[in-house]
Chains A and B, each alone.
Chain A
Amino acid sequence: RKEVEQDPGPFNVPEGATVAFNCTYSNSASQSFFWYRQDCRKEPKLLMSVYSSGNEDGRFTAQLNRASQYISLLIRDSKLSDSATYLCVVNINNQGGKLIFGQGTELSVKP
């Protein structure tokens, strides 16, 4: 079983739609969680951290469920510019060598 698993998609949604991605992790010792965004053929960039109480950044909401070992990302009012691959990232023990990336979920927002 992969340490971090995501549905690869693609998710094809119309502009204005709400879309949610889930990510599961296998190591219960995982301590911190993040979402990165990667545009086609570009480098990944940090989108947001995921806090235990859930957190929001504009149209983006991230949530963590430690009991079930999954995190989620909700995007409201999708824009064409949201089209990208979203990478779930888990940090085990807050060590640099233990930053584990999921394979990513592809989102395509259509007009």
Chain B
Amino acid sequence: NAGVTQTPKFQVLKTGQSMTLQCAQDMNHNSMYWYRQDPGMGLRLIYYSASEGTTDKGEVPNGYNVSRLNKREFSLRLESAAPSQTSVYFCASSEVEGSEKLFFGSGTQLSVL
């Protein structure tokens, strides 16, 4: 019963490097989300995809791009990592947009040096 799977769990990057965080859900959910969590800030939405084929900016989209590859997969790309992107990243999904029941992945701890 996998739910939401995101990889990698940990990553260390140098400033300027690029990387893609992968996320997949096996619950046939329509909506998927990427959040970042920083101390004292709560979870902030980076991008979301209300349904396959659509993506929208959230509260903090700068420096990120996303791809909704298919209904199951939603990836987050950092094109040129900056120290300000050091954070814990969570992928989440919900049956429909606006549903309060989000299912989260286990998170990715990213450090940018």
Indicate whether A and B interact: yes
Measuring CB to CB, which residues of chain A are less than 8 angstroms from any residue of chain B? 4, 8, 32, 34, 41-46, 49, 87, 89, 91, 94-97, 99, 101-104
Q: Are A95 and B42 in contact (CB under 8 A)?
A: no
Q: Give Cα A44 to B45, complex, Å.
A: 14
Measuring CB to CB, which residues of chain B are less than 8 angstroms from any residue of chain A? 31, 33, 35, 40-45, 48, 50, 56, 58, 90, 94, 97-102, 104-107
What would be 22 A-B contacts, judged by CB atoms less than 8 Å apart? A8-B40, A34-B100, A41-B107, A42-B107, A44-B102, A45-B104, A46-B100, A46-B101, A46-B102, A87-B42, A87-B43, A94-B98, A95-B97, A96-B33, A96-B50, A96-B94, A97-B48, A97-B50, A97-B56, A99-B102, A101-B42, A103-B41
Residues of B within 8 A of A43 (CB): 90, 104-107
Closest 3 CB pairs of A and B: A43-B104, A96-B97, A103-B42
- Max count, chain B CB within 10 A of own CB: residue among A44, A95, A96: A96
